[in-house]
Structure 1
Amino acid sequence: MTDNLIIGSDSEVILHFDLKLEDGSAADSTRVNNKPAKMVMGDGSLTPNFEACLLGLQKGEKKSFTLAANDAFGEPNPNNIHYMDRSRFGADLEIQEGAILAFSQPDGSEIPGIIRSVAGDSITVDFNHPLAGQTVIFDVEIVDVKVAPAPTSKGDQ
């Protein structure tokens, strides 16, 4: 009976995807390692517009859809570009334009930053998503659809 579930707002979805840019260049794919992605609709891991494209699909279906920048990874935010002094980086670290480095957040998590320019002791780091501002094409294949497990609360005993 679960073989014909369609994707709804409470679905757990396993899917393969290929993410391409408008020029046809590959940006990401689950097929590279033959490991499909698993997501829960409405958990915030995907934009509402991406989720809307998946609604109504079922196991075995394939679909291709194009998302404008605002519907995918957003537009670049100038507030996410930071100018840092070279002294904030390890002395032995070779810093090159285009390099992606991990930066520690105050809570201990890490966020990637792209080195946009190096001018003397001033380093420009862009914390926008690398695909911000890009129209993207998603090709998806739905591997499985299940009803997502209900979230558990520590107060429920």
Structure 2
Amino acid sequence: MGDLTIGPGTRVTLHFALKLDNGEVVDSTFGGEPATFDVGDGNLLEGFERALFGMSSGNKETLVIKPENGFGQRNPQNIQEIPRSEFDPAIEMSEGLMLSFADAQNTELPGVVSSFDEQTVKIDFNHPLSGRDIHFEVEIIDIAPVTTH
């Protein structure tokens, strides 16, 4: 393990938990298999990766990731009003219902019903964790140089 610290060119194995300000756990590997990623491979948001830079094996910390370094700020333009007639009448509308949409490139895009009435449905396409501070609890298990074969 040695003196290697997290940075570009490293493979990191860690346990992590993502928590909200109220302590609610959004995701966690504690109690299960640890996660492994190569710095810069896109498996971890860049702001979360940068927060780990300089840490060593055995480090345990809770870092607060601000929205601009995590899931972004909420964008009011990501809330769309869609005519109720465009939805299958069999869908039982409720606030918080997650629905799947296809964008212009036919990529799946999740949206959450924020409100609805007889004529329109407001869909929020913001990431559910956008605009929130995330408490990123980490335990670094191992750091290794990335090897290419």
Partner SS, residue 39 of structure 1:
strand
Q: Classify the secondary structure of the residue corresponding to 1:13.
A: strand
Offset of residue 46 of structure 1:
3.6
The aligned residue for residue 21 of structure 2 is 22
- Which of 77, 80, 89 aligns to 2:78? It is 80
Alignment correspondent of 1:96:
94
| Offset, 1:76 | 0.2
Compute the RMSD of aligned alpha carbons: 2.2
Cα deviation for residue 22 of structure 1 reads 1.5
1:113 aligns with 2:111: yes
Matches of 1:135 and 1:116 in 2, distance apart? 21
Question: Which deviates further from its counterpart, 86-95 or 74-83?
Answer: 86-95
| Partner of residue 133, structure 1 | 131
**Whole-angstrom distance in 1 between the partners of 2:30 and 2:13:** 13
Query: Distance in 1 between the 2:143 and 2:94 partners?
Result: 43
Gaps of 5+ in 1: 153-157
Distance 2:69 2:81 in 1: 28
Length, aligned pairs only: 148
Distance in 2 (alpha carbons) for counterparts of 1:83 and 1:7: 44
Secondary structure of residue in 2 paired with 1:115: strand
Pick which of 102-111 and 128-137 moved more: 102-111
Counterpart Cα distance in 1 of 2:93 and 2:6: 45
Separation of aligned partners in 2, 1:74 and 1:8: 23
1:81 counterpart letter in structure 2:
I
Deviation, 1:149, is 4.5
Q: Which amino acid aligns with 2:55?
A: L
Partner of 1:12: 11
Which residue of the other structure, out of 45, 53, 56, is the alignment partner of 1:55? 53
Secondary structure (helix, strand or coil) at the match of 1:57 reads coil
- Paired residue secondary structure (2:17): strand
TM-superposed CA distance for 1:16, in Å, is: 1.6
Identity of aligned residues (%): 38
Q: Give the TM-score of the pair, scaled to structure 1.
A: 0.80
- CA–CA distance in 1 between the matches of 2:86 and 2:115? 15
Alpha-carbon shift at residue 45 of structure 1 (Å): 4.2
Distance 1:43 1:55 in 2: 15
Relative to 1, partners in 2 of residues 1:123 and 1:13: Cα closer, same or farther, differing over 3 Å?
same
User: In 2, Cα distance between the equivalents of 1:90 and 1:149?
Assistant: 50
